[in-house]
Structure 1
Amino acid sequence: MFDLGFSPNGERIVSGGRDGTVRLWNRQGELMGEPWRGHQGVVFAVAFSPDGETIASGSGNGTIRLWNAQGQLQGEPLRGHQGAVRSLRFSPDGERLASGSEDKTVRLWDVRILPESQDWQTGLQVACDRLKNHPVFERPQPEITAITLSRDICQAKLSRTRH
């Protein structure tokens, strides 16, 4: 087991482990159902949303998965980190998820927009919408303090696809 998190009401505990699974426990320490499978690597980080209805898990391959409270995957993996995801926290309103990685970045995800199987144009729009609220904090040089948010690429690609 690499990480644990309590549900907001304190009745459930989520865990992530070496076997690539996420597990849900009651507070008496009893496993609630089968392990959840959806990662291709070690699960290093887990977190409950403030309403207790969504669980995020981050793995050694740099992906993040979102689950409902019954253990069903919600959308495709969130991709962007180049190293293992070691930390996850939801914002107090549950609309954003912060992820910290061994690649020395912190990413903010708008979890209201889930990547789904879609045609490429819709997928590009979802990716670009996600970039609007998806700054990447990188470890800056001591004399540089900056946050880069790249929407220019999306605006150029979208204008070309709409002709």
Structure 2
Amino acid sequence: MQQVQMAFRLSVCAYLLKRINFVTLVKSLELVMLGESLFPADVLMEIGKEHGVEIQVEKEVIAYSPPSSHSGRGLSTRETQILKCLIQGDSNKVIARRLQIGEATVKVHIKAILRKIRVQNRTQAAIWAVSHLEAAPPVEMSGFVNGGGAIAAAL
């Protein structure tokens, strides 16, 4: 509880517990990027008890809707490949090697992707891609070992 109270004092936008599942994590990050604040209901209820305020949670709902066929907003095949590389945490240099294109070309594609899906940076693009692109095998390059990076976002 001390950590959560400190988070409130520091104006943290969200406090997520390690036990949440992947879909909940992605949706939570999307909400935070939209300017919402998130704290677990049980944590808020405990803080309310400590301050003499009763907080009631009627029902917790986790909503997940599968991506629609038009969720790519006009992304090209190459842009989709690059997004899949971003999900894996690949740098521009690694993406260029995987797809056998120039690093400058990767940068141009990433800028176009950011504009099309209306996000500000590559981390947000990767988060968007996780929930909007259909599951597909990772992009591979012959002779290159896929390390399977992770997405991390500082809030």
Q: Which has the higher strand share?
A: 1
> TM-score, normalising length from structure 2?
0.22
Q: Which has the higher helix share?
A: 2
> TM-score, normalising length from structure 1?
0.22
Higher relative contact order (CA 8 A, sep 6+): 2
